[in-house]
Amino acid sequence: MLIQWNQDLSVRNENLDKEHQKWITILNNFYDGLMMSKSKEKLEGLVQEMLDYTNYHFASEEAFMRSINYPDLADHQEKHAFYIDKLTGFQEKIKEGKLILSLEVTNFLKTWLINHIKGVDQQYANFVDGK
């Protein structure tokens, strides 16, 4: 199940919307790799890419929230840290050959991403708009 970015996911910030689009593309690539039963090395590469980009995006988003003096920054950062922990855990298990990559894993990553953008990221957009 691939995700497609659409206007419902917009945080009304061009750069951050672009980052979300890239993040979704990377997650879709990971899903494709899984479906095509790519080698362990290939999947490790895809997980690494996702972890790198997720870290990059979270840092960028946190810098933006700091720049607008967003009051819920600490809480938001905790949610980011939770996701990074999960991804790191998956990565370690893949390396040890212990994780049977399943739809459950990709569904978790996908559902979290969508719910996070809609439920958490869009709150800073509302803050910017004075809502």
Report the nearest approach of Fe ion to the CB of residue 99 (Å): 25
Point out which span in 41-49, 96-104, 106-114, 116-124 binds Fe ion (CB under 5 A): 116-124
Residue position matching structure tokens 């997650």:
27
CA–CA separation, 108 and 110 (whole Å): 5
> Residue with CB nearest Fe ion?
121
Q: Which one of 39-47, 82-90, 94-102, 121-129 is the stretch in contact with Fe ion (CB under 5 A)?
A: 121-129
d(CA 83, CA 44): 17
What does the per-residue mask of binding to Fe ion show for 22-61, with x meaning CB under 5 A?
---------------------------------------x
Query: Nearest CA to 31 among 53, 5, 3?
Result: 3
To the nearest whole angstrom, how small is the minimum distance from the Cβ of residue 117 to Fe ion?
6
CA angle 85, 86, 92 (to 5 degrees): 90
Q: Are 50 and 27 in contact (CB under 8 A)?
A: yes
Contact 101, 93 (CB under 8 A): no
Number of shown-chain residues binding Fe ion (CB under 5 A): 2
- Out of 9, 54, 64, 121, which residue is the one contacting Fe ion (CB under 5 A)? 121
Q: Which residue ranges make up the site for Fe ion (CB under 5 A)?
A: 61, 121
